[in-house]
Structure 1
């Protein structure tokens, strides 16, 4: 009920007014049944703009950090993310990844729409990076179609580290549904999982027209973080001389 109220009377109208999203390929969105939307991820607002242009309820798998904050701010953040259909997942890998998979499959089993960012994190620089194979497992185990989605212009509205978004127009491009039923029963084959994931990323690249790099975005972020720490150490050392 809270999701419906927010989407139709509060957050939805606000998002549509602020960002005036244009949409291409709306005919590619299934009118009913479970579906996975595989989207590029260049801005925080991707997670609120995409559901706003869809008619049916949509859930996103969001990092658990958004749900564990303390105090009034933590409560407000958790309430907001719950209200807009975000589901907490642990990204630490292993058993946590398996639990995330099950959470997504439960959404699909209810015949609902699920949003996934195959890259696993926001792009640090606007490029498109290698997809994680978790999406392929969910597609094959859930036996659902995938609709690739390109978010356009959202990075210019709100970049990483920017507190408040600009009121600027953005776009959403839906590609044709991808059917991977030919791989049914092969969800444990890592070569199949990689092939399915790469096909999804290929479609995303064509829709978004982003520059593609065949490395994980998390690796790029880790290298950048290490470089920043190295610079800070050098400055502290130089300052102590």
Structure 2
């Protein structure tokens, strides 16, 4: 019951207060498996994208949001349940692999899964090199990847803030990318790298971020 109230409240806020600009929603199929691969500049990205997408989108969330003592966990659990978030333990490479397996289960069930190929939030606003987990998911599931560019969420909820501010947010959904469009003859590792780079190039075009040439600090152990 509580999660329905949370969902309703978030929907009202979206339509009456924040009113984000949304472009390209038709690029997201309303049924069947699909991967939404987005840039990541604020914690609130995982809230904004599911609220503006044309279908339910599952993101991963720290298990601590769902379990533990205190009344606050009751609300955080309801909040993330309302957003179809999936609890996952984070913090090491093994956890990242388990996250990919969890994502694959969602896709095999015909769901939509959201992923941040950078592996963690960008702290300086630049778009970092993508980890190849997004390509692994696309190849293992056969699902198309819809690149997503989120603009302005770092102003809506800056790092360290707990209450959203008034800021205009834009979410752009790009045209789907398919892993089977890769040139023949590539090794599995080269194919994953090539497809990941294509996804990141599409995200960069949508988000209009400066592109960094390396991986984001701390992304090695981040959940997928």
TM range (shorter): 0.7 to 0.9
Q: What is the rounded CA distance, in whole Å, between the counterparts of 2:187 and 2:62 in structure 1?
A: 25
Q: How many residues align?
A: 219
> In proportion to residue count, which structure has more helix?
1
TM-score normalised to structure 1 length:
0.81
Q: Matched residue of 2:58: which SS? A: strand
Per the alignment, residue 101 of structure 1 pairs with: 100
Per the alignment, residue 86 of structure 1 pairs with: 85
> Unaligned regions of 5+ residues in structure 2, if any?
220-224
TM-score normalised to structure 2 length:
0.87
Offset, 1:80: 1.6
Q: What is the rounded CA distance, in whole Å, between the counterparts of 1:76 and 1:31 in structure 2?
A: 29
Offset, 1:147: 0.4
Call closer, same or farther: CA 1:158–1:143 in 2, change over 3 Å.
same
Find runs of 4+ consecutive structure 1 residues off by over 3 angstroms. 1-7, 63-70, 90-95
Larger RCO: 1 or 2 (CA < 8 Å, sep 6+): 2
Query: Greater Rg, structure 1 or structure 2?
Result: 1
Q: What is the rounded CA distance, in whole Å, between the counterparts of 1:73 and 1:152 in structure 2?
A: 30
Q: In the alignment, is residue 127 of structure 1 matched against residue 121 of structure 2?
A: no
Per the alignment, residue 222 of structure 2 pairs with: none
1:172-211: CA deviation from partner (whole Å, max 9, x where unpaired): 1111110112459x99822221111111111111111100
Offset, 1:69: 4.6
Per the alignment, residue 209 of structure 2 pairs with: 210
Q: What is the rounded CA distance, in whole Å, between the counterparts of 2:77 and 2:187 in structure 1?
A: 34
Q: What is the rounded CA distance, in whole Å, between the counterparts of 1:188 and 1:112 in structure 2?
A: 29
Q: Name whichever of 106-115 and 71-80 sits farther off.
A: 71-80
Q: In the alignment, is residue 47 of structure 1 matched against residue 46 of structure 2?
A: yes
Q: What is the rounded CA distance, in whole Å, between the counterparts of 1:190 and 1:176 in structure 2?
A: 24
Per the alignment, residue 196 of structure 1 pairs with: 195
> Unaligned regions of 5+ residues in structure 1, if any?
221-241
Q: What is the rounded CA distance, in whole Å, between the counterparts of 2:76 and 2:68 in structure 1?
A: 8
Q: What is the rounded CA distance, in whole Å, between the counterparts of 1:205 and 1:43 in structure 2?
A: 16
Contact 1:135 1:197 in 2 (8 A): yes
Q: Matched residue of 1:159: which SS? A: coil
Call closer, same or farther: CA 1:188–1:112 in 2, change over 3 Å.
farther
Superposition pairs of residues 25-40 of structure 1, within 5 angstroms? 25-40=24-39
Contact 1:187 1:193 in 2 (8 A): no
Alpha-carbon RMSD across the aligned residues, in angstroms, is 2.6
Q: What is the rounded CA distance, in whole Å, between the counterparts of 2:42 and 2:152 in structure 1?
A: 9
Offset, 1:134: 1.1
Contact 1:69 1:77 in 2 (8 A): no
Offset, 1:219: 4.5
Contact 1:63 1:89 in 2 (8 A): yes
Call closer, same or farther: CA 1:154–1:187 in 2, change over 3 Å.
farther
Call closer, same or farther: CA 1:218–1:88 in 2, change over 3 Å.
farther
